[in-house]
Structure 1
Amino acid sequence: MAKAEKATAIAELKSEFEGSNGAVLTEYRGLTVAQLKELRTNLGANAKFAVVKNTLTKIAAADAGVDEEFRALLEGPSAIAFVTGDVVEAAKGLRDFAKANPLLVIKGGFIDGKSMDAGQVGQLADLESREVLLAKLAGAMKGSMAKAAATFNALPTQAAQLAEALRAKREAAGETAEAVDAAPADADAVPAE
């Protein structure tokens, strides 16, 4: 590879690192071209899967500010999935493909400025997608607001019920007092005939 071609490849890789939300490093040894094409299709539009040269990738990663832990994983035949959208979705796609094709090995990743080992990428893949998590958060917030509204609505209702009960009690007490006033003063006395 000519020096100009190497410089261009390094610049492209650096641009990919800087423009992506994350990168998942894999080893693809033994996979066919058809399997790699299937993987690229499964990852969708928010991830770009590229076979890379380790030396050039190490240089580009260093230029992009990627930490040493990630660069240390660049051994053997390497391919990187550069993710521009939901990193969880791409990690799930890679994990599912690796289950079906054991020759694809996830080595680690670099997400939002932090290196991750293969286990952490697997944990990331176990998370629910961003949309599901946002829907759950919105549902929880809606439920909390509904409970608060019910509580605020219950206060005036309870106050009205209490006032009605007090009025009924006073009314009943007032009727009893009127009944006592209307009775003869000496209720025990027997009228004379």
Structure 2
Amino acid sequence: MDRTAKADLVSTLNGVFNQSAVVVVAHYKGLTVADMQKLRSQMKQAGATVKVAKNSLAGIALEGTDVASIKPLLKGPTLLAYSGDPVAAAKVAVDFSKTNDKLVILGGAMGTTTLNPDGVKALAALPSLDELRAKLVGLIQAPATKIAQLSTAPAAKLARVFGAYAKKDEAA
């Protein structure tokens, strides 16, 4: 890799670190190419990205960012998983590490907060932004649905009463 390519990679990574809500660092030693492709596709489906970069270049890119606290984790064969959603990258990384013991989560950062492996697992247990939005919409719509049911209930009861009287008169 020549000097300009390294500079481009550092500036790209710096932009990624500035815009990402969460960055997860993990060791990937022993993962096959098929496993890495599977991890990348799962991350892509969740709206996250996996990047394998040279540790020294990633360390340079971390300077001046909120997630600079993860620099000590960049030792050995590491990969970086990041996303704009604070939960997506952590959730996919933790789920993948449960099925594949070769992916070892070292830690991460969410903004200026440094996360240890347990912190990443706790973050992965939270619902994603889309799930939270769906719950919120459901909570907002629930009262409207109940009001509509209450407003139609008396009319329905009256209709049943009239129907019962009509059947009673027909039977007599």
Partner amino acid, structure 2, of 1:57: A
SS for the counterpart of 2:29 is coil
Specify the structure having the higher radius of gyration (Cα): 1
Please say if 1:34 is aligned against 2:34. Answer: yes
Within 5 A, what are the aligned runs for 1:133-152?
Answer: 133-140=132-139
| TM-score when normalising by structure 1 | 0.66
How do 1:1-193 and structure 2 match up within 5 A? 1-45=1-45, 46-68=47-69, 70-84=70-84, 86-140=85-139
Code of the residue aligned with 1:132 in structure 2: it is E
Distance (whole Å) between structure 2 residues aligned to residue 83 and residue 143 of structure 1: 32
TM-score by length of 2: 0.74
In structure 2, the partner of 1:190 is none
Asked if 2 retains the 8 angstrom alpha-carbon contact of 1:67 and 1:115, the reply is: no
Helix, strand or coil for the counterpart of 2:87? Answer: helix
Cα RMSD of the aligned pairs, angstroms, is 2.4
**Structure 1 segments unaligned to the other structure (5+ residues):** 150-193
1:23-42 CA-to-partner distances (Å, cap 9, x unmatched) read 11111000011110000011
Query: Does 1 or 2 have the higher relative contact order (CA < 8 Å, sep 6+)?
Result: 2
Within 2, Cα distance between the matches of 1:89 and 1:47?
6
Cα deviation, residue 138, structure 1: 4.7
In the comparison of the two structures, how many residue pairs are matched? Answer: 147
The code of the aligned residue for 1:56 comes to L
Amino acid at match of 1:62: E
| Percent sequence identity over aligned pairs | 36
* Equivalent AA in structure 1 for residue 117 of structure 2: A
